[in-house]
Amino acid sequence: DGGITQSPKYLFRKEGQNVTLSCEQNLNHDAMYWYRQDPGQGLRLIYYSQIVNDFQKGDIAEGYSVSREKKESFPLTVTSAQKNPTAFYLCASSHRDSPLGGYTFGSGTRLTVV
């Protein structure tokens, strides 16, 4: 079955530590995205990538980093510079030229800083 997999589902991090969230898709989608969801707010875009080895900052990229070395994978690193990292993180993918097809989302990673 094709899909998009995020791991882990729950993640706890100590303050000052970097942590990497995994996102893998086998849908042969060109584009991949990272969103953050906070209570009472919509999904906010952190980073996106439309092709391998290229990525762009979204609206709230500060304190995050990404890589896109393979088409299937788009890991997100939450660095110690991110001031308020506790949130629900969603990874998504899509065909680059099919906007009405929408995104396929993973099931999310809930990150908690302790």
Size of the site for another protein (CB under 8 A): 29
Contacts 24+ apart (CB under 8 A), 70-73: 71/28, 71/30, 72/24, 72/25, 72/26, 73/22, 73/23, 73/24
Among residues 41, 54, 83, 84, the one that binds another protein under rule CB under 8 A: 41
Residue placing its CB nearer to another protein in the complex, 57 or 70? 57
Judged by the rule CB under 8 A, the positions of this chain that interact with another protein are: 4, 6, 9, 33, 35, 40-45, 48, 50, 56, 58, 88, 90, 92, 99-108, 110
